Each structure stands twice: as structure tokens, then as C-alpha cells.
Amino acid sequence: MRRVPPGDVAVVFGSGLSVVPDGAAVEEEVSYEELGWPATEVAGHPNRLLAIGWTLASGRRLRALLAFGRPHLYEGWERAELERPVRDLAAAGVPALVATNAAGSLGPGIAAGTALVVTELIDLQRAPRDRAPVLRVAADTEAARLAAALAPALPAGTGRYVAVPGPQYETPAEAAWLRSLGEVVGMSTAPEVACALALGLPVCAVSLVVNVSGASLDHAEVVAAAGRVAGGLARGLGPLVDAFLSGRTSPAASRSGDRESGEGESSDEESP
């Protein structure tokens, strides 16, 4: 079994988004199988961990770990299994995590090709409760600062991400209901973010909007649309990571900012 290589930051890529960012060179590549990580059979997820040497535009030199792909709850994995990569990264001393995903727009004015830095994650993948579990990921002001770093490469804003179990896409009626909860919707990211928050690992979540929720589509269309924004992500990831690492605050500090969330942390998670 291979150990997780050392790194200054880890980035998890969503469907069709796996890119080596501008200014980076691949130094090492390891399969998820070698690491003992769960692997997905969903298209657009290569199941590889890359270690890269990366010189950012600011001159900051770092080593980053790029997780190309993620498995999903709807494939039959337990949340504890989906949590393992984050736990392994934290155990290896990786001090910060960026989680990206391909998402559907829930609101007018949020077009395909838009990036949203997540302020709150509404986790509908968990067992039903009297209210939707809400994870505070970033204070509004911090999310806006990170969105500004992304904006030269991609239209960027901030918003709430609703995580649903999948694998089916939302009907128009479901999309209308989800619109009351957030700005974008997807089928991933919740286990990683919940685990990172529980571990005290600083985390930034970014949704890349690739479709309008409630419209008819299939996964091949999602992957193709993600490929069209991947170039912008390759250009914008460096400034985003630079801003994230430069202004990094603890999850608790982020959650105390701006406005109250339903549930600030994941200490009562059933091993996501």
C-alpha cells in the first residue's frame, strides 16, 4: 500500500474537471487502488492522485496533491469510505483542502460556466431530520474574497451548495423545491467537507456550474460541459489557492462570520 505523498494543499476534482493547473509540473502519480482509496466507475473521474510542483503567479512555490476524481454515495460506498481520502491527507500532514464539483444551477442568473465559492453546504445526503443539516464552509466575506481571485479566469460568485444523493437528475418540481435551499445542486462534496470540518482541516469548496437543474440531460452532457470550463479552472486555480492559503482561517472562525448557519460543524456526523 502506498502512502499519501507530502503536499502543501490538496485539490479534489469533480466530474470532467481534472486539470493540471497553469504553472505546474507533475512529479508523481499514484492510482487510488495503490492508496487503498475507493475508486469510481463514473465517467470523468480518472481515479489518480498527482503530486505537482507548482509556482503560482505570486511567486509562491508549493507542492500540491491533485485528486483526479471521487466516488459517490449512489455507487454503494459508505460515507466512512468516502471520508478516507480526506483522513489520509490530513494524517499525511496536508494542511488545507480545496474541493471542486460540477453542479447544476438552481437560480436565475447563474449560468453554465459560472464558478461559485460555497458559503454553506446543505447536506441532504444524510438521514432525514427535522431540518436540513447545514455546514458552514466559509464566511461570506471570505468566500467573496476567494471568488474575486477566481474571477479573472471564470465568472465567479458565492452561494450555497445543496448535496443530494443522486444518481438521478432533478425533475423540474424537485429543482423548484431545492431552489429554496441553495443556488447550486450536486451529488458529491458533502462527505469531504464534513470530514474536513470535523478534523479542523481548512477547506474551500467551489462549484463549477455546468447545467440548469431540472432540465433534461445525461451524465455525458455534464462531463462535456465540465470540459468546457476546465480551461478556466486551470487558469483560475492558482490565484484561488494562493488567496485561500494566504488568508486561511480555521473552520470555526469561518463559521462564526457574517450569518448564522443551521449546523456549524459535523461533530455529530455518522462517519461521512
Domain-located, residue 270: no
89 and 57 Cβ atoms separated by less than 8 Å: no
Per-residue confidence (pLDDT) for residue 251, from 0 to 100: 38
pLDDT for the residue 248 = 66
Looking at residue 130, what is its pLDDT? Answer: 65
Does 4 map to a domain? no
Tell me, yes or no, whether 1 lies in a domain. no
pLDDT tens per residue across span 47-83: 999 999 999 999 999 999 999 988 999 999 999 999 9
Residue 155 within a domain:
yes
- Helix H or strand E segment including 143: helix 140-150
Predicted pLDDT at 104: 93
d(CA 104, CA 9): 26
pLDDT digits over 128-168, tens only? Answer: 666 668 999 999 999 999 999 999 999 999 999 999 998 88
For residue 104, what are the β-bridge partners? 185, 211
Predicted local confidence at residue 173, as pLDDT: 94
CATH assignment of the domain containing 221: 3.40.50.1580
In a domain, 262, yes or no: no
Classify residue 265: in a domain, yes or no.
no
Say what the pLDDT of residue 44 is.
64
Q: Provide the whole-model pTM.
A: 0.87
In a domain, 96, yes or no: yes
Residue 263 lies in a domain: no
Question: What is the enclosing helix (H) or strand (E) of 159?
Answer: strand 156-163
Q: Does 15 or 37 have the greater pLDDT score?
A: 37
Counted domains in the chain = 1
**Percentage of the chain surpassing pLDDT 70?**
85
Q: Which residue segment(s) compose the domain that 115 sits in?
A: 9-255
Nearest Cα neighbor of 187 from 166, 170, 204 is 166
